[in-house]
C-alpha cells in the first residue's frame, strides 16, 4: 500500500530551540518510520525578515546539521532546502491569484509580524500562508506535523487547496491535516520569560545547541514569584510555564514532587529550576555533541542537500505539471 505523505519545514533564522524540537521535530522522528516524509529548511520564508546573506547561509547549514543530529535520516526522509526547489515558488505564483487580500490581512501571524516589524510589512509577509500552502500542496501532503502556533497557517493551506480543486474541478490536492500521535493536541512550548511561546524571534529560546552552562543560566533566570500563600492555589502564567516545560522533559515522579510542594506552599523555585535545567540538558547535550560533529563535515552536508533536492524536485515537478495543465498553461509548440 502507498504510504501517506508528510511535509513540514522550519525557518533557518537561528538555532533550533525546545519549541521546534518538541513541537515539530519529535513528531518528524516518529513519522519518518511509517510515512513518505519531506522535511525542509524554509529559507525562502526567511527572506520576509531580511536576514543578511551570510546569516541566511549559516542558518541553513545549522538547521540542516541540527535535523541530522536530532535523528532525521536522509535515507528514510527527504531532507531539502526550499530554495533548491523552484517549483514551490512557481506554484506560489499560481496560488497567489486565488488568495484574497482580506483573508491574508486577517491572519494572526501577519498581524503579529506587522506589529513586530512595522518598518518592514512587505508583500511576502502578507502572502506567507500562500507560500506555506505551496510547500505542502506541491508534494500532495496528507499530514503536516507542526506546533500550535501554525494551526491557522495550516488552515489557510487547506482552504487554498480546496479552493483550487473546486475552481479547476479536480482533486489534484489532497487536503492536508495537522498531525500529532495518539490524537494529542498540537503543542505550545512556553518561554521562560513569563509569557507566551518559546520562539527565535521572542528572544526567550533554549536552543539544542546551547552549552550546559548557557542552559543553566537561562533556566535560573526564568521569571518566578514569591510562591503561593494558599494551599492548592491556581498557578500564575510564569509558574505554569515552568511546570509545562517540566512536564515535557522530566520524569513523572519529579513533576509530582514539585506539584505537591507547590500545593503545600513549600515550593522552592531555585530547586525546581535546577532540576529543570538538568532534565533539559539530558535531552539537549547528546544532540549538541552530534551537531558539533556534523557541522564539521561539509561534504556530508552537501551530499544530503543534493540528494534531498533531487528527490524533492522530482515530486514537485510532477504536481506542478498537473497544475499547469489544469490552469490552462498548455504548450503551443
Ligand atoms: P520560530 O517560531 O522559533 O521562529 P519556526 O517558525 O521556524 O520557529 O517553527 C518551526 C516549527 O516549530 C513549526 O512547526 C512550529 O509550530 C514549531 N514551533 C515553534 N515554536 C514552537 C513552540 N514554542 N511550541 C511548539 N511548537 C513550536
Ligand atoms: N511557517 C512555519 C513556521 O513559521 C514554517 C513552515 C514553512 C512550514 N512552510 C511550512 C511548516 C510547511 C509546515 C509546512 O513555523
**Domain of residue 127, CATH code:** 3.40.50.620
**Are 166 and 235 in the same domain?**
no
CATH value at residue 258: 1.10.240.10
| 71 CB-near residues (< 8 Å, 6+ apart) | 29
CB 302 within 8 A of CB 233: no
User: Which of 21, 24, 117, 202 has the most ligand 1 atoms within 8 A of CB, as the residue to mutate?
Assistant: 24
Of 3, 140, 159, 200, which residue is the catalytic one? 200
Q: Three-class SS of residue 200?
A: coil
CA of 10 to the centre of ligand 2 (A): 6
Counted domains in the chain: 2
Annotated active-site residue 197? The verdict is yes
Which stretches in the chain have pLDDT values below 70?
A: 1
Residue-level pLDDT at 201: 80
DSSP 98: T
Q: Which domain holds residue 264?
A: 212-292
C-alpha dihedral, 176 to 177 to 182 to 188, nearest 10°: 120
Residues 171 and 219 in one domain: no
Same-domain status, 21 and 169: yes
pLDDT of residue 1: 66
pLDDT for res 266 = 96
Question: Contact, 144 vs 157, CB < 8 A?
Answer: yes
* Model pLDDT, residue 17: 97
Cell numbers given for 86? 523552484
d(CA 160, CA 166): 10
Asked if the structure places residue 263 within a domain, the reply is yes
Beta-bridge partners for 7: 38
What pLDDT is stored for residue 309 in this prediction?
98
Q: What is the pLDDT of residue 286?
A: 98
Global pTM value: 0.96
Amino acid at each position: 500500500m502507498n504510504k501517506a505523505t508528510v511535509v513540514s519545514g522550519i525557518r533557518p533564522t537561528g538555532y533550533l530551540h525546545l519549541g521546534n524540537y518538541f513541537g515539530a521535530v519529535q513528531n518528524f522522528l516518529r513519522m519518518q518510520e511509517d510515512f513518505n516524509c519531506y522535511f525542509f529548511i524554509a529559507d525562502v520564508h526567511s527572506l520576509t525578515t531580511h536576514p543578511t546573506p551570510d546569516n541566511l547561509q549559516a542558518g541553513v547549514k545549522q538547521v540542516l546539521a541540527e535535523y541530522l543530529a536530532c535523528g532525521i535520516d536522509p535515507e528514510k526522509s527527504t531532507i531539502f532546502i526550499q530554495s533548491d526547489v523552484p517549483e514551490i515558488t512557481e506554484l506560489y505564483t499560481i496560488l497567489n491569484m486565488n488568495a484574497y487580500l482580506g483573508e491574508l490581512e486577517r491572519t494572526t501571524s501577519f498581524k503579529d509580524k506587522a506589529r513586530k516589524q512595522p518598518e518592514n510589512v512587505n508583500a511576502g509577509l502578507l502572502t506567507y500562508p500562500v507560500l506555506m500552502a505551496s510547500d505542502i500542496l506541491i508534494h500532495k501532503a496528507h499530514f503536516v506535523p507542526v506546533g500550535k502556533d501554525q494551526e491557522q497557517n495550516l488552515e489557510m493551506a487547506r482552504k487554498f487547496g480546496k479552493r483550487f480543486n473546486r475552481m479547476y474541478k479536480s482533486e489534484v490536492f489532497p487536503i492536508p491535516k495537522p498531525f500529532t500521535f495518539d490524537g494529542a493536541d498540537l503543542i505550545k512550548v512556553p518561554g521562560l520569560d513569563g509569557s507566551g511561546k518559546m520562539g527565535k524571534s521572542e528572544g526567550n529560546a533554549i536552543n539544542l545547541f546551547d552549552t550546559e552552562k548557557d542552559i543553566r543560566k537561562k533556566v535560573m533566570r526564568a521569571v518566578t514569584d514569591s510562591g503561593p500563600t494558599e494551599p492548592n492555589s491556581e498557578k500564575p502564567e510564569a509558574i505554569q510555564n515552568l511546570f509545562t516545560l517540566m512536564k515535557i522533559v522530566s520524569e513523572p515522579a519529579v513533576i509530582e514532587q514539585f506539584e505537591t510542594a507547590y500545593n503545600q506552599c513549600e515550593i522552592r523555585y531555585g530547586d525546581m529550576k535546577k532540576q529543570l535545567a538538568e532534565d533539559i540538558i539530558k535531552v539537549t547535550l547528546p544532540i549538541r555533541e552530534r551537531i558539533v560533529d556534523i557541522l564539521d563535515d561539509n561534504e556530508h552536508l552537501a551530499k544530503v542537500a543534493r540528494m534531498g533536492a533531487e528527490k524533492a524536485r522530482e515530486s514537485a515537478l510532477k504536481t506542478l505539471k498537473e497544475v499547469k495543465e489544469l490552469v490552462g498553461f498548455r504548450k503551443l509548440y
